[in-house]
Structure 1
């Protein structure tokens, strides 16, 4: 879901400071606190007390030109404009990130996305997203490139030699910026709330999964990072692909981050996806088609969904990606409900929700069987606390490659309903079966239905009669819209869209802890 314009769970992915073990490197390399002289009382030392010398700062600033030369040569992307450089203290970085998070338009949509995510059950009702994200940002801060000012921001508490590999990652964004103007290229999705069927389907078709594009930019930056670290060995990711696998394994390890390690699965998966899976995507293109296709080629024709990022062969073959059609729900709902959110639930979304509700063993097989999915959320006009998920009604319609997978998804989804509703009670249906389930809850009815063609319809919060009418609309309209080609129109996805919630927050280099993978 997207926050006002992205897929629900995909949205959380929006937090652009994304943390991977790489970021953890920043903590690992901090200079040790020196022992005080025996006659003095030790004074606690913090990151803010540790500063780079003028000589070290000059060396670091000088290294930017050297590193960007390597980046341009390694990626075949031209560095056409100078890059500004700035040295920041820890407090300065923290303040800048928090200010951007509070002021950015995406942050204003954060609460909207949070309600939808909670309604679907991706995060617990008592979880507070914004304070968590602020903690995560300040913990995982690293050097970052800002496309608005074309500036690489470096850290004055980390030694120059320890920042250079991170610069290789961040300066990859600078040469990408030269080719496609990252600020606009990375956020092509509309942000206004869709108010009619035409706008709903525009969101579905054109709201791109920003993280799919971010998987390109971060995957490329990770590839250059690995090549930079492999220089002394005379190797690159292309001729030593095993290093890419080692880095990807590290990118899924959250043990080095106290904050991220206790984050909901949704946040962990969606935040790390562009780095680990993005690197896998870029490496596959690199191996199959070479440097120009992996870098310039994927910037010029980026993937449109998590499905293509997770299956590079689909992207390379230009295989159509399943895109479902939104029916006109407004004539039925708008009298009592305000439009709230609409978007695509992609393969990554399915993998996350299935793992969350059914366990890892079920997640990958079911995600592969996904064959398209869209969601819609509305908010009650009156009679509900608009700061609570109880004010939200949601619909999710998905199609599957086989009936067994569709039925498995329906059962897994139904099994987690007791976690969300205190007064959940199943309602007996005349001539009912396990493929059609009705429940009453303190927040309205829940209706789950499987058809003979492998389509699963879910409705929560709308009364039974309205849910049945919505189901008819969703099932009837499918097949009337053209299947979109992966190379044409970008989509927005729920979980990946999360990352778009805060587009103004710089993406910190996740590459920190990664550097050890190349040694």
Structure 2
């Protein structure tokens, strides 16, 4: 699931519920081979006991405590065929403005080079990491046929959980792209991936008398820190791809420890409203809503808004971890209250404004200091406290007013213009 996005599960891949084998403990060697998927696609209402994955579906349903309503269609495919399916789905479901907007944002925030090709990077990353995925639109799962046998079994279990989620909780409409809903869908995506990881790991560890609940925070943190790729893509994309699996595991672990699988089922009726709620179970329990932040005004009348989205605490953390250690980046992002990222276009030139409102002025002050090394490392503060730095990418202004903060990047011009836009933008944010 999840779209590699800026906080990137949620702007492209939540259309696909996928699994990267590196996000899991090493599976044990199998005692029996997985059922061979059929080359044909069964009808949607085929009884579960007669489908191509009947044995594995029954195992997953028993562990999760959710009965299968019908069989699940799917097949093993080459990586080339799997990526063709991914490409077709992304082309069908993702507006071009999302791709251009995210590209502009990554470049403006100095997270990607100026010649960055977003979709090429996403394809390279998913081509290496993706072991399988479930497609809600067609109710079909795909498994990479070149996986070792034990990884095929683990991946199949993972994807069958997504199929059960779709049968019980109607995933399709919930993961379909909606403008401005990136953070909300990131939280839902992490819930889905966390649940699938827990069922998969439960089955993986059952022969040893253990379950996913036995994984410590130290083990999860070590696995998360060990995520590496052999393709040349911006690190923020890698963090964004794997974060739903680990953030979701922690959230589901907290639910299961206090209420078993019933608490997880209940969460589907009232999922976390934001990645902040996902990352902080106390805020989920308190139903703390995100602060609603509107997009910054355009820098001038020549610009039209091309893209907007909420990056959320998860997305802010992914950006900060570009310049800080994982714990420091997470701590700096933890006071997130709300945000809105907007990209404006004028004859192919793009301006980017990221408005962020923190919970308190103290959190905002720490965030401001945390952003300086990556965005305006050589800029001294002006009389109003703003910092601005000119570069070949255009002038970048960083301005804080109380708990409100804005990063404003113009495609060209001077720091005077960037500061002026930043001032107008921060004034529009909630105090």
Q: Deviations over 1:147-206 (max 9, x none)?
A: 23323334444565552222211110111011122121222623xxxxxxxxxxxx3xx5
Q: How does 1:370-385 map to 2 (within 5 A)?
A: 370-381=336-347
Deviations 1:312-367 (A, max 9, x none): 2211232233333446x26x73x210112222232122222222234446313211
Is the CA contact 2:376–2:389 (under 8 Å) kept in the aligned structure 1? Answer: no
Q: How does 1:207-246 map to 2 (within 5 A)?
A: 208-238=183-213, 240-242=214-216, 246=219
Q: Is the 8 A contact 2:165 2:171 kept in 1?
A: yes
Q: 1:156 to 1:62 in 2, by over 3 A?
A: farther
CA distance in 2, matches of 1:380, 1:154: 43
TM-score, with length taken from structure 1: 0.68
Give CA-to-partner distance per residue, 1:415-451, whole Å, 9 cap, x none: 33468xxxx987x95xx16x22344555654433222
Q: Aligned partners of 1:477, 1:108: CA distance in 2, in Å?
A: 24
CA shift in 2, pair 1:450/1:96, >3 Å: closer
Alignment CA distance shift 1:248-1:166 (3 Å): farther
Comparing 273-282 with 157-166, greater Cα deviation is found at 157-166
In the alignment, does 2:239 pair up with 1:269? yes
Residues 61-90 of structure 1, C-alpha deviation per residue, up to 9 Å, x if partnerless? Answer: 977212212222222223112212323244
**Are the structure 2 counterparts of residues 286 and 106 from structure 1 closer, same or farther at C-alpha, using a change threshold of 3 Å?**
farther
Q: How does 1:253-332 map to 2 (within 5 A)?
A: 253-255=226-228, 257-259=229-231, 262-294=232-264, 296-326=265-295, 329=297
Q: CA deviation at 1:275?
A: 0.5
Describe the SS at the equivalent of 2:131. Answer: coil
Q: 1:260-284: CA deviations, max 9, x gaps? A: xx53221111100111111111111
Q: Go from structure 1 to structure 2 and tell me whether the alpha carbon gap of 1:379 and 1:139 turns closer, same or farther (over 3 Å shift).
A: same
Per-residue CA deviations over 1:232-271 (Å, capped at 9, x if unaligned) read 2343334x343x763563244224x422xx5322111110
Count of matched residue positions in the alignment of Structure 1 and Structure 2: 410
Give 3-state SS (helix, strand or coil) of 1:216's partner: helix
What CA deviation, in whole Å up to 9, does each residue of 1:14-63 have, x standing for no partner? Answer: 3455645148979x99xxxxxxxxxxxxxxxxxxxxxxx999668xx977
Q: For residue 193 of structure 1, what is the aligned residue in structure 2?
A: none
Higher normalized contact order (CA 8 Å, seq sep 6+, divided by chain length):
1
Query: Unpaired runs of 5+ in structure 2?
Result: 39-49
Rounded to whole Å, the distance in 2 between the matches of 1:128 and 1:266 is: 14
Larger radius of gyration: 1
CA contact (8 A) 1:20 1:252 kept: no
Partner SS, residue 349 of structure 1? helix
Q: Which residue of 1 aligns with 2:351?
A: 393
The Cα of 1:212 is off from its aligned counterpart by 1.2
Q: 1:160 to 1:364 in 2, by over 3 A?
A: closer
In the alignment, the residues of structure 1 paired with residue 118 and residue 343 of structure 2 have an alpha-carbon distance, to the nearest angstrom, of 19
Q: 1:131 aligns with which of 120, 141, 148?
A: 120
Distance 2:177 2:207 in 1: 39
- In 2, the alpha carbon distance for the partners of 1:237 and 1:54 equals 22
Structure 1, unaligned runs of 5 or more: 30-52, 191-202, 480-519
What SS does the aligned partner of 2:187 have? helix
2:65 aligned partner: 76
The answer to whether 1:113 aligns with 2:108 is: no
Matched residues in 1 for 2:352 and 2:281: separation? 32
Partner of 1:499: none
Give the 5 Å matches for 1:503-514. Answer: none
Q: Against the structure 1 CA distance between its residues 71 and 355, is the aligned structure 2 distance closer, same or farther, given a 3 Å change threshold?
A: same
CA contact (8 A) 1:94 1:141 kept: no
Q: Structure 1 residues 400 and 92 mapped into 2: Cα distance closer, same or farther (>3 Å)?
A: closer
